[in-house]
Amino acid sequence: MNMMVFEYGEDIIIVDCGVMFPEPELLGVDIVIPDLTYLRDRRDHVRAIVLTHGHEDHIGGLPYVLEELDVPVYGTAFTLALAKSRLEEHGLAEGAVLREMKPKAPFRVGPFQIEFIHLTHSIIDSGALAITTPVGTVIHTGDFKFDPTPTDGRTSDLHTLANYGQRDVLALFSDSTNVERPGMTPSERGVRERFAEIMAEAHGRLVVTCFSTSLHRMQIVADLASEHKRRLCFIGRSMHRNSEIALQMGRLRVPAGVLVAPEDLKDLPRDRVVLVVAGSQGEPLSAMARIAVDSHRWVTLEPGDEVVISARVIPGNEKAIFRMMDHLYRRGAHVHYQDGNQPPVHVSGHGSIEELRLMLNLVRPKYFTPVHGEYRQLARHKEMAEQGSAVSGGTFLLESGNVLEFDGVGARLGEPVPVGHVYIDTGSLEEVGEVVLKERRRISEDGIVVPILAINKHTGELETLPEIVSRGFVHLDNAGDLMESARQVVLKTLEKSKPEEAGDWGMVKDKIRSSLRKFFDQELGKRPMIMPVVLEV
Amino acid sequence: MNMMVFEYGEDIIIVDCGVMFPEPELLGVDIVIPDLTYLRDRRDHVRAIVLTHGHEDHIGGLPYVLEELDVPVYGTAFTLALAKSRLEEHGLAEGAVLREMKPKAPFRVGPFQIEFIHLTHSIIDSGALAITTPVGTVIHTGDFKFDPTPTDGRTSDLHTLANYGQRDVLALFSDSTNVERPGMTPSERGVRERFAEIMAEAHGRLVVTCFSTSLHRMQIVADLASEHKRRLCFIGRSMHRNSEIALQMGRLRVPAGVLVAPEDLKDLPRDRVVLVVAGSQGEPLSAMARIAVDSHRWVTLEPGDEVVISARVIPGNEKAIFRMMDHLYRRGAHVHYQDGNQPPVHVSGHGSIEELRLMLNLVRPKYFTPVHGEYRQLARHKEMAEQGSAVSGGTFLLESGNVLEFDGVGARLGEPVPVGHVYIDTGSLEEVGEVVLKERRRISEDGIVVPILAINKHTGELETLPEIVSRGFVHLDNAGDLMESARQVVLKTLEKSKPEEAGDWGMVKDKIRSSLRKFFDQELGKRPMIMPVVLEV
């Protein structure tokens, strides 16, 4: 959920606008976006959103943020194409102002001069931003690796980084994801060898699943498909959409007659096709997950088919991916995944330690701040920078909401600003509040009990015995006796109430809640949510 | 959740009796045990439970299973000591019959002759079982590695395995956990070098967290503590309990004057102590998790302290562990974990490919079945066995509930038997049914709405306007208007009911449920659980 705000005077630009996917404990929440309170209070000062690249955790929040902040969005051609398709899904593409930025073509937004510097990553058209204001230039790397042989031949623009490094760079904000990995990350081209081996030996269907933004991977499979005379098919909504976009833009090159539509797969021999399928994280409704449990409309697997899982396991997705792999084995498929065997079926899109060091040594900033990583990774990246000699001024470890202030004198932490998570329930496109979430969690753990009192509004006396309904709490078989005892508890509580209490239904409810809580705790060791209702009849 | 049943004629023995920890989606469930239906129906034929070793996923189900099956439990001395302490917690130690088994001392249980064969693992006193019946001998490896230098000097009993291999072994059931790892797993002693480096360089407190059954790790830390003149303290309930058990049994050796109680830590200089702490998986209530967020009663961390996480990340625990690590970095501690740096801070307790091959070649079984692993690991282990020459008869991949039958002629799959999960809510020591779980999940996703109708029992008419209560559904701020509209929906549904429907409250409830479901779906795109209540007053 990346979002960074740069502010000079009163003017603001936002770098990236991501979403996060919720933990399973956040029930009924589909995605998480940043809390915009700080920006909402300054909406008139926000000049632009600038995107470093097109991954979901950098652009996925756009539809929600643009609803609140009506500002132009800058990005490279492919990034904007992905952003536009996302906005179209939300019916927001019409009103959005999308402005393409290009390498070596600085542009101005208010007091900011911004230059996009192309860097390699697992997605194409990705890069860093050099942002210059009267107090100096800061460089935000975005996500990067220094890939010497990207599949599109567009290597990282070391020269522009070097040029900035020869002038004064005030601060560097650098990707920390792979600070724990020694050496250099292999090139995107590094998976080609293994893919080629697998394709050469495959006697059945070949299925490759990867992120649907992995154009490098898609290009490698497309090239191998035409070499090995297999037809190529993209499966899954996002895979289909992104491959269409890339083909139209000329960023994915597939020879004529190689592509085939999913519905025509059935007419082709199994050893004459290769499928590139969305759902590498085992997402339950994804094409790959459906194929694994044999419930996909067009694609089935048979013993002897080959499946390549060409993606990392995003923390939190382990169980879903492992379950999917088990199902693939049950289909009889042979599964290739990141098990340490070489050459690799997947390479990371983020630079390892030596690449992070190279970035530091090229840019030679006065101040350094690690970004994009968990706290432990930021801490290690900061430590690494302090051990080297590239940083002349100082290092800062920032967490969400922290503010770093620069002026002619130096840099220092400012007062933190409000930040947080906003939970989105996409079923209704509605924010889910913290209170609702807490209630859901409580109910889901110990159930809910609703004691109902029907009171004669004239006499103030009970009209009937209290009713007690419950859900998610005990088996109905066992519930009878227990609920009978609970009714007696409610009755006794009412009988023992003093007259002045009995007239105060708020107080009666509290007493009932507390006596039932005690009762269920003693009887069952449970603490359901207790929600007394008083009906005057 | 390991449990395997061996049956000859009508007699049954059970090997291992484990628990599993639930996925986060299983709300309010604390542990999962095997469904005992098959055994319950044959309870008079069950002769014994035999434990291969003392890990939770092999002994944790004992308290639940012994409540139903009153049979003797066989295990090695340390395994039984852990089992006993678990049974004591449940007040079941008195009635339990625990029988110690020793290596090279076969014993009979009904028609079964059982020999325990000592093998190395991450826990001491672990091993395989050779089970002989008139149709032949089967060997169940338990969890194992071939550690050439275990800290207690008790290496794997290769000779007894070799002796069985020279006779006819009908079948081998072998641990598959590390079939994806090439080579040999390093010795338990392998972490000593790194621990020693860290301790030699530590200037502050040193904290090591590992599984509380990792006696090898605990012994290494104890030895280093006395070398480096640090006092040793065990922190956390399970760590304290297991170290006490091991000390009493002479299986953990700590020189006099080295141990210190948690409450005395405050009197010692920070660089003169080393703590061994429970909670390596970031379990929210564990000692380590508390220390990480600075809420432990006796232990605080300061910048410059060192923390060693000497455990693997069990799939599913990634986020909890990463969160804990972030908190440790926030405390300013330096954290050592499995990041690929050598020498390792953790080694696996399970044998890698070459050890699995060695087991196969030593035992040379007629039939082979991989056990203990996910489906993909079982599939790979089976494939590996088929590639070698050790197995003369055939291989079988079994899933839970599958039956493998042997007789004088050969082996074949039998009819599957009922198996499954039983969810235990330890708060009440009560099983949670599937229905309750489904309700909890449903409620937790979209909330609950309770429309309440108070009906005059004489006239059959509504006494008051319908009341509607809800939880986990919408913010109370927005609820007013919505609930008012919902009341109107209920009223209209009642008005439109035909007279014969209106007298049938079951039907009225159904109609209300369906009209409210439609209403909330249209208005909010949500499907809360709707639970109409009719009160006759």
Q: What is the pLDDT of residue B172?
A: 98
Chain A 177-206, residues with CB within 8 Å of chain B CB atoms: 180-182
Q: What is the pLDDT of residue A435?
A: 59
Q: What is the pLDDT of residue B485?
A: 86
Provide mean pLDDT across the span A244-273. Answer: 96
Structure tokens at A362: 């090229």
Give the whole-angstrom CA distance, residue B190 versus residue B213: 17
Q: Are A247 and A198 in contact (CB under 8 A)?
A: no
Q: What is the pLDDT of residue B522?
A: 84
Give the closest-approach CA distance of B45 to chain A in angstroms.
30
| Cross-chain residue pair A464–B315, CB shorter than 8 Å | no
Looking at the partner chain, which of A25, A433, A525 has a beta carbon nearest the beta carbon of B24?
A25
- DSSP-derived secondary structure letter, B381: H
Looking at the partner chain, which of A319, A439, A448 has a beta carbon nearest the beta carbon of B23?
A319
Q: Does B339 touch chain A (CB under 8 A)?
A: yes
Inter-CA distances, A31 with A272, A352, B475, Å: 39, 29, 19
Q: What is the pLDDT of residue A439?
A: 61
Structure tokens at A504: 């105060």
Q: Is the pLDDT of residue A140 over 70?
A: yes
| Cross-chain residue pair A448–B452, CB shorter than 8 Å | no
Q: What is the pLDDT of residue B439?
A: 61
Q: Reduce the secondary structure of A243-300 to three states and give it as a string.
A: HHHHHHCCCCCCCCCCECCHHHHHHCCHHHEEEEECCCCCCCCCHHHHHHCCCCCCCC
Give the whole-angstrom CA distance, residue A62 versus residue A210: 23
Q: What is the pLDDT of residue A428?
A: 44
Q: Quick: pLDDT tens for A315-343.
A: 878 888 998 999 999 999 999 999 988 99
Q: What is the ipTM of this complex?
A: 0.74
Which residues of chain A make contact with B526, given a CB cutoff of 8 A?
A: 425, 427-428
Provide mean pLDDT across the span A84-105. Answer: 93
Q: Does B90 touch chain A (CB under 8 A)?
A: no
Catalytically annotated residue among A296, A350, A372, A381: A350
Q: Is the pLDDT of residue B429 over 50?
A: no
Q: With CA atoms as reference, report the closest residue to A51 among A111, A96, A8.
A: A96
**Residue B524: pLDDT band with limits 50, 70, 90:** confident
Looking at the partner chain, which of B340, B436, B454 has a beta carbon nearest the beta carbon of A535?
B454
Q: Does B104 touch chain A (CB under 8 A)?
A: no
User: In this structure, how many other beta carbons lie within 10 angstroms of the beta carbon of residue B183?
Assistant: 10
Q: Does B342 touch chain A (CB under 8 A)?
A: no
Q: Is A350 a catalytic residue?
A: yes
Q: Phi and psi of B101, rounded to 5°?
A: -115, 150
Provide mean pLDDT across the span B106-110. Answer: 98
- Percent of chain A at pLDDT exceeding 90: 67
| Cross-chain residue pair A443–B23, CB shorter than 8 Å | no
Q: Which amino acid is at A436?
A: V
Provide mean pLDDT across the span A115-133. Answer: 98
Structure tokens at B456: 């005059």
Q: Quick: pLDDT tens for B153-183.
A: 999 999 999 999 999 999 999 999 999 999 9
Q: Who's near A237: CB < 8 A, 6+ residues apart?
A: A278, A287
Provide mean pLDDT across the span B367-383. Answer: 96
Q: What is the pLDDT of residue B478?
A: 62
Q: What is the pLDDT of residue A429?
A: 47
Give the closest-approach CA distance of A440 to chain B in angstroms.
5
Higher pLDDT, A444 or B115: B115
pTM value is 0.79
| Cross-chain residue pair B319–A315, CB shorter than 8 Å | yes
Give the whole-angstrom CA distance, residue B80 versus residue A318: 34
Give the closest-approach CA distance of A316 to chain B in angstroms.
6
Q: Is the pLDDT of residue B372 over 70?
A: yes
Higher pLDDT, B31 or A170: A170
- Percent of chain B at pLDDT exceeding 70: 89
Give the whole-angstrom CA distance, residue A268 versus residue A261: 11
Q: Does A447 touch chain B (CB under 8 A)?
A: yes
| Cross-chain residue pair A24–B23, CB shorter than 8 Å | yes
Question: What SS3 class is residue A322?
Answer: helix
Q: Phi and psi of A61, rounded to 5°?
A: -85, -10
Please give the distance of CA A44 from its chain centroid, rounded to a whole number: 28
Task: Find residue B411's DSSP bridge partners.
Answer: B406
Q: What is the pLDDT of residue A491?
A: 87
Q: With CA atoms as reference, report the closest residue to B241 among B102, B78, B101.
A: B78
Which residues of chain B make contact with A471, given a CB cutoff of 8 A?
A: 439, 443, 448, 529, 531
Q: Who's near B90: CB < 8 A, 6+ residues apart?
A: B63, B429
Q: Does A439 touch chain B (CB under 8 A)?
A: yes
Give the closest-approach CA distance of B474 to chain A in angstroms.
7
Q: Is A216 a catalytic residue?
A: no
Q: Does B476 touch chain A (CB under 8 A)?
A: yes
Give the closest-approach CA distance of A103 to chain B in angstroms.
36
Q: What is the pLDDT of residue A330?
A: 92
- Percent of chain B at pLDDT exceeding 90: 67
Q: What is the pLDDT of residue B500?
A: 59
Provide mean pLDDT across the span B330-347. Answer: 94
Provide mean pLDDT across the span B129-152. Answer: 97
Bond prior to A343 in cis (omega within 30° of 0): yes
Q: Quick: pLDDT tens for B312-322.
A: 998 878 888 99
Number of CB pairs, chain A paired with chain B, less than 8 A apart:
177
Looking at the partner chain, which of A330, A444, A454 has a beta carbon nearest the beta carbon of B28?
A444
Give the whole-angstrom CA distance, residue B529 versus residue A473: 14
Q: Is the pLDDT of residue A446 over 80?
A: no
Q: Lowest mean pLDDT of A29-33, A65-69, B364-368, name the range.
A: A29-33
Mean predicted lDDT score pLDDT of chain A = 89
Catalytically annotated residue among B350, B372, B381, B446: B350
Bond prior to B343 in cis (omega within 30° of 0): yes
Q: Is B8 exposed, middle or buried (CB count within 10 Å of its CB: 0-12, 13-18, 19+)? A: middle
Helix runs in A259-398, H state only: 287-292, 318-330, 353-363, 375-387
| Cross-chain residue pair A435–B340, CB shorter than 8 Å | no
Q: Determine which helix (DSSP H) or strand (DSSP E) holds A510, and give its type and residue range.
A: helix A505-524
Q: Is the pLDDT of residue A477 over 60?
A: no
Nearest CA in chain A to B473: A436
Give the closest-approach CA distance of A387 to chain B in angstroms.
15
CA dihedral B243, B248, B252, B255 (to 10 degrees): 100
- 């002026």: which residue's tokens? A407
Q: Does B284 touch chain A (CB under 8 A)?
A: no
Which residues of chain B make contact with A522, given a CB cutoff of 8 A?
A: none
Q: Are A287 and A281 in contact (CB under 8 A)?
A: no
